[in-house]
Amino acid sequence: MKIISLSLIAIASACIDDAALGEYSEELTAAEILGGPNRDGDTLPDLVDNCPDVPNSDAFDADGDGLGNACDADYDNSGSVTAADYGVFLAAFGTQRGAPGFDPRADHVPNLADAVNAADFSVFLRQWGAPVPSSPVVGIEAARAGDTHVMVVTTMNGDVPSYRIVLRRIVSVLRYPNGRLDRLEFTGSFGRLTTLSDGHWIAQGGFPCFDTGVIEPERFASNMDRFASDCGLANAVHVSMYVLPMTLTP
């Protein structure tokens, strides 16, 4: 049986440019977002679900495009699942994390084994020839001031997962000259996320389990791995981050 734990973080008021706010169709509280409809019955309500029609409580998103692995076989983001995507899957089939040829995009049923196997192939086949699904969220690289940052934390107690959803309003977005994300800053004491040019993320202030410095590249920013918690928990942790283009109110 799955143990579900939702952590709602109340976000303090902050001054945001009125013109920026005008781009958003709605402003909702964390309770309204997380208490909304949930048509696939997982732990992610529709507004923060990166696969709203396929259960995927851990929100695993290997390529960071805002569409979860459970419903994303369009590896090259061409808009459809084609022979090119099939080639990617075949090259990864039968591999495990750490082995040559492993491709996390082809891991549609993430588990502790982190392998591309027959279960993943079944998911791929269901998406072959079907329209690429839409998602209400976007990848974190598309973040803008006024958006809501979504963080889904999965912890494991043996083989039993539990999940937390943490929401924060983004008040500032800084980018490198090449356009890549540099820093996200949040309201009040909820800190900031800084990404270095090599892909490392530094989490500062208000981030459960992630306040002790640099997290290894690709294990946080690209949602591609589980890593040991640094807040005294012995169980494994997997984190997915993305953005809801909607303003979070206090």
201: tokens are 């993320």
Residue 212, pLDDT > 80, answer no
| Least confident piece of the model among 21-30, 51-60, 162-171, 180-189 | 21-30
Residue reference for tokens 């009040």: 188
Mean pLDDT calculated for residue range 55-69 = 88
Q: Which of 114-118, 145-149, 186-190, 210-214 has the highest mean pLDDT?
A: 145-149
Domain boundaries, the chain: 18-52+136-248, 73-127
